[in-house]
Homo-oligomer: A and B are copies of this chain.
């Protein structure tokens, strides 16, 4: 091989699909959460059961009690266990105690991709976003609409979707949530976003190309500005239905 001048790769402009991503560092307590949660959803630990005492459990897991306790804090926050001083740690029924953050946990820690749960989440997204659009269209201030238009105008002019497109999408959605004047829309949207974002393999592929997206959003803003609530909703609903079809097709191909 002849020696030749090497080019310097600009790390901010890597070829599509070859982006670097941070090396993931696992905390001991996080692994404990995954392991114990698996035991719970598999039924090895049933609702109502009392777990071994912290000291024993820590020993079984070859982990310090401190780490185990940090894991238990997180599981308690997810509604998987309840901790009663002097008594012990008890398994709760996640079906009646856990919230959306548990779904996020299940779908973002590859605990075994639950296809049905992901489809369920997509349905919630549709229900939720539809209501959001409707309220946003009804209540958006002139200022909100201005910002929405700006964001829609900032889409990259490529045919090739990527991280940037996804970020812009979320920015647009976030602004829509703010336009509803209801902060809970914002918070719920965050969780939905996290679920989709972490499934990057799927995510980058179900989104349309930037041009199409920008067009869609521009039409949406236009409808909102004219007070055409129903039109705004229908524009959006159609797009989401297409997303869902793509997602379903992808999942079909995976199994």
**Contact surface of A with B, Cβ cutoff 8 Å:** 25, 29, 66, 69-70, 73-74, 77-79, 85, 95-104, 116-117, 120-121, 123-124, 127-128, 131, 174, 182-188, 190-191, 194
Top 10 A-B pairs, shortest CB-CB distance: A99-B191, A127-B131, A120-B182, A120-B184, A124-B184, A101-B101, A73-B73, A100-B100, A77-B77, A70-B73
The 28 sampled A-B contact pairs (Cβ below 8 Å) are A25-B85, A29-B73, A69-B70, A70-B70, A73-B74, A74-B77, A77-B77, A77-B78, A77-B101, A79-B190, A96-B174, A97-B190, A98-B187, A98-B190, A99-B188, A99-B191, A99-B194, A100-B100, A100-B101, A100-B184, A102-B187, A103-B184, A117-B184, A120-B183, A127-B127, A127-B128, A127-B131, A131-B131
Chain B residues with CB below 8 A from A73, complex form: 29, 70, 73-74
Q: How far is the CB of A186 from chain B (nearest CB, A)?
A: 6
Of A95, A99, A183, A190, most B-chain CB atoms within 10 Å: A99
A99 near B103 with CB under 8 A, answer no
When all copies of this chain in the complex are counted, the total is 2
Contact of A188 among B74, B85, B124, B186 (CB under 8 A): B124
Which residues of chain B are near A191, meaning CB under 8 Å? 99-100
Pair B190/A99 contact, Cβ less than 8 Å: yes
Q: A100-B187, A100-B191, A128-B128 are in contact. List 18 more A-B contacts (CB 8 A).
A: A25-B85, A70-B70, A70-B73, A73-B74, A74-B77, A77-B77, A77-B78, A99-B100, A99-B101, A99-B187, A99-B190, A102-B187, A117-B183, A117-B184, A120-B183, A127-B127, A127-B131, A131-B131
Given contacts A25-B85, A127-B131, contact A95 B182 (CB under 8 A): no
Q: Which interface residue of A70, A120, A184 has the most chain B CB atoms within 10 A?
A: A184
Please tell me if the beta carbons of B184 and A96 are within 8 angstroms of each other in the complex: no
Name A76's closest neighbour in chain B (CB-CB).
B74
A166: min CB distance to chain B, Å: 14
CB-defined contacts of A128 to chain B, threshold 8 Å: 127-128
Q: Are B95 and A184 in contact (CB under 8 A)?
A: no
Query: Roughly how many angstroms separate A174 CA and B98 CA in the complex, as a whole number?
Result: 13
Among A70, A77, A100, A194, chain B packs the most CB atoms within 10 A around the CB of A100
A103 touches B187 (CB 8 A): yes
Cα(A142)–Cα(B121), bound, Å? 25
Could you tell me the distance in whole angstroms from the C-beta of A111 to the nearest C-beta in chain B? 15
